[in-house]
Homo-oligomer: A and B are copies of this chain.
Amino acid sequence: MKEKKVTFSDIAEYTGFSKTTISRYFNNPDSLTLENQQKIADALVALDYKENKVGRILASGRTEFVGVIVPNLYMHYYSEMLNQILATYEKYGYKFLVFAGNAKADVERRYIEELLAYNIEGMIILSPTIPSEELASYHVPVVGIEREDRYISSVNTDNYMGGVQAASLLSKSDCDILIHVNADISEESPAYGRIKGFVEVCGEYHLPYELILTNLGDTFEENTERISDIIDRLEEEHPGRKKGIFMPNDTHANVLLNILFQRYGKLPETYQIIGFDNSPISRESVIPISTVGQQISVIANEAMDILSAQMAERKKRRPEPLKEPVHKIIPPILIRRRTTV
């Protein structure tokens, strides 16, 4: 039952060549005569050879593995990003070893150790848990996506521009007040740029605005409750005034929209809503939500582009590691739908 596998030795024996020649057939076929190439090709078929990359890895040191650590796949942003990362296989040929970290630093460290034990050639880190300084210390090419990135290369959405776009769009609908709801995020985090962009536009055009920086909770129920509270407060503080609300993401924008629909059977004239991400929920909501769209596919491709360059550099005889991490910024795309003018 143990189908013993066909190896280069078998092919060599069968064809009368050496193992080296067989290896060359795969790695540098043009160094063989056409005739001999054909002989070997025939033998492969005759013997039903299946390549074994483990031997190759051991001998060459190249695994073609890239480790990916996502916080979870529950949130659409991460699953779609992973989707796009996986899709780069067609272009770059790297295989992906994927772990979901669930925000526990020590667990993620174990995952990284494990990845390193398999001689991965690089890592893409979406999880914000482990500081970039530590990631950099592993001496493996790393690209971070939408996370703190002082010591590692990264690709991020232009969050500042996203904030600007959101505030600008809301400003067009002559709202009496603009509001941005967000978590109280660190200035190190790329997402902080949204707040900055929003505030600066409001300042520049002298638009009254309010920042509500608070934790909206980790579950859907918590979200609903806290956003409900926020609406209560807004209606009390700004009764009858037109409110333009920039939510931190589409999921929360949708919660807000649902609450309003449940209360009023429609989106009242006194509300404008804009989300962030352009995730499916923004199209699947009661009425489609306007949003600042992240170009997930572009981000994934840029990340692999940067990573593959660094991995290629490392394979050279005299690699010149980057002095400075590369930071790439991808512009967001404003998507106007039915929750704004």
Contacts and interface: CB of A to CB of B under 8 A. Distances in A.
Task: Give the number of times this chain occurs in the complex, counting copies.
Answer: 2
A322 interface: no
A142 interface: no
Contact of A265 (B54, B255, B265, B280): B265
A139 interface: yes
A73 B63 contact: no
A34 interface: no
B51 A117 contact: yes
Contact of A3 (B82, B119, B139, B280): B139
A52 B57 CA distance: 11
Contacts of A76: 76, 79
A86 B108 CA distance: 13
Contact of A117 (B52, B255, B261): B52
A268 interface: no
A261 to B, nearest CB: 5
A54 B119 contact: yes
Interface string A195-214: 00000000000000000000
Contact of A73 (B82, B266, B281): B82
A122 to B, nearest CB: 15
A96 B89 CA distance: 15
A284 B265 CA distance: 16
Chain A: number of interface residues, binned into ranges: 35 or more
A54 B118 contact: yes
B73 A80 contact: yes
Interface in A40-57: 50-55, 57
Nearest to A97: B95
A83 B100 contact: yes
Max chain B CB contacts within 10 Å: which of A83, A96, A113, A266? A83
Interface of A: 1, 3, 50-55, 57-58, 63, 72-74, 76, 79-80, 82-83, 86-87, 89, 95-100, 113-114, 116-119, 139, 220, 251, 254-255, 258, 261-262, 265-266, 280-281, 283-287, 319, 321
11 contacts: A1-B321, A54-B58, A54-B63, A73-B82, A74-B79, A74-B83, A89-B99, A96-B98, A220-B280, A262-B286, A285-B286
